[in-house]
Amino acid sequence: MTHDRETDQTLRRYCLGELPRHQHRLIEKSFFEDDGLFDRLLSTEEQLIAEYVHGTLPERERLRFESYFLTTPQRQQRLRELSEAEAVNVVAPPVAPQSTIAPPGGGSPTLLKRLWAWLRNSSPMLQVAFAVITLAILGALWATFVRLSRPSPLAPEQAANPPSTPSPDVAKVQTPQQPDANNTHPTSTPQPSPRSSPPAKSPTPPPSPTPREYATPPSPTGAAVAAILSPGLMRGGSQVPSVKITTDTPSVLLRASLTEQKFALYSATLLDEERHQVRRWRARGPQGDAKVTTVVFDLPADGLSDGYYYLILYGVGPKGEAVKVDTYPFEVQRQ
């Protein structure tokens, strides 16, 4: 009898992971070879779950049960089954991510039921007070709803003065250093190549990328893709702009934005991710206004494959020497 109790206690400690390692292994080896011991182990496990469900598990064992025993999905499932079968409300312990997912029909309805039961058993005065408070809360919520649903007096003004949008003829890939306000506007639009005839106006605007993507949309059939590139090998978590091209895209215009205009003429080379030279452009003058000055370099789209590229911009010095100005990284995505 004493021996049995000792064995049960040992099995209990095994279930809760409280045995020293050598003893833990000994139990495991034994239950593989001894069916009787295995049955007792299963019933000990069931008993532990039942005690937990009924709340009769001693504090120390309960903590151990939650932190050690209940860490596998199978056991959490078993606990749920037993809880539901016995209609006992168990508060799921915060042991694993599974516990963050609310079980279907759990939580709030149980709480409401408890609240209702408590209210029914309470004094009439308390019931009246509860009703008044509830009505006051509902009234406040209703007033808030009515106030929020009224049209704002600012709305017409805002409609008359919409936030400025980029010029439709400038396609733009923004780097995160120069994001547009709130990242809400499309970061780019396709631009016709100066060599190609302008595309017919489409009644619907081209799809815009999601705010966190810095990408050109794929160009409509036959239209060139233009991208404004910002300088800098962005360290510390900025996203590289993407230039999305399709098989129909004839050419890509790379507009390298200048932080300051030091030179009258600029040349550039394009390197692939292996830093091999893909293309070299001759010197040309910058374009643009006081706000944004860019140097435009164009190349056929079929010369670009998927991957990262680096546009190296050089200023042409007074003696014709090339002075490195900046590096403009971007990614090409063929679609």
Q: Among residues 47, 239, 246, 327, which is the contact residue for other proteins, using CB under 8 A?
A: 239
Residue 241 to residue 256: CA distance in whole angstroms: 12
Which position has the token pair 């006051």?
Answer: 136
100 binds other proteins per the rule CB under 8 A = yes
* Backbone φ and ψ of 252, nearest 5°: -125, 130
Burial of 145 (0-12, 13-18, 19+ CB in 10 A): exposed
80 binds other proteins per the rule CB under 8 A = no
**Piece of the chain touching other proteins by CB under 8 A; list 13-21, 125-133, 182-190, 250-258:** 13-21
Q: Who's near 229: CB < 8 A, 6+ residues apart?
A: 173, 175, 241, 254, 255, 256, 257, 311, 328, 329, 330
331 binds other proteins per the rule CB under 8 A = yes
Facing residues of 281 across strands?
Answer: 268
237 binds other proteins per the rule CB under 8 A = yes
Q: How far is the CB of 218 from other proteins (least distance, A)?
A: 15
Q: Among residues 97, 105, 109, 162, which is the contact residue for other proteins, using CB under 8 A?
A: 97
15 binds other proteins per the rule CB under 8 A = yes
60 binds other proteins per the rule CB under 8 A = no
Check if the beta carbon of residue 95 is closer than 8 Å to that of residue 67: yes
71 binds other proteins per the rule CB under 8 A = yes
Q: Among residues 13, 31, 268, 316, which is the contact residue for other proteins, using CB under 8 A?
A: 31
Estimate the crossing angle of helix 35-54 against helix 59-67, to 10 degrees. Answer: 110
Q: Who's near 66: CB < 8 A, 6+ residues apart?
A: 93, 95
**Piece of the chain touching other proteins by CB under 8 A; list 104-112, 122-130, 201-209, 272-280:** 272-280
**Piece of the chain touching other proteins by CB under 8 A; list 117-125, 161-169, 252-260, 270-278:** 270-278
Q: Among residues 6, 9, 23, 42, which is the contact residue for other proteins, using CB under 8 A?
A: 42
Q: How far is the CB of 302 from other proteins (least distance, A)?
A: 21
Interaction residues for other proteins, span 212-231 (CB under 8 A):
212
Check if the beta carbon of residue 243 is closer than 8 Å to that of residue 216: yes
68 binds other proteins per the rule CB under 8 A = yes
Check if the beta carbon of residue 51 is closer than 8 Å to that of residue 83: no
Q: How far is the CB of 242 from other proteins (least distance, A)?
A: 10
Q: How far is the CB of 274 from other proteins (least distance, A)?
A: 5
Q: Which long-range contacts (CB under 8 A, 24 or more apart) does 32-37 make?
A: 37/7
Q: How far is the CB of 254 from other proteins (least distance, A)?
A: 17
81 binds other proteins per the rule CB under 8 A = no
Using the CB atoms, write b or e for 230-269: b if 16+ within 10 Å: bbeeeeeebebbbbbbbeebbbbbbbbbbeeeebebbbbb
Query: CA angle, 134 as apex, 129 and 138 as ends, to 5°?
Result: 150
Q: How far is the CB of 88 from other proteins (least distance, A)?
A: 23
- The HSE-up count of residue 91 (CA atoms within 13 Å, CB side) is 5
Structure token pair of residue 114: 């408890």
**Piece of the chain touching other proteins by CB under 8 A; list 71-79, 120-128, 147-155, 261-269:** 71-79
**Piece of the chain touching other proteins by CB under 8 A; list 29-37, 49-57, 194-202, 285-293:** 29-37
Chain residues that interact with other proteins, rule: CB under 8 A = 14-15, 17, 25, 28-29, 31-33, 35, 38, 41-42, 68, 71-75, 96-97, 100-101, 212, 234, 236-240, 273-275, 307-308, 329, 331
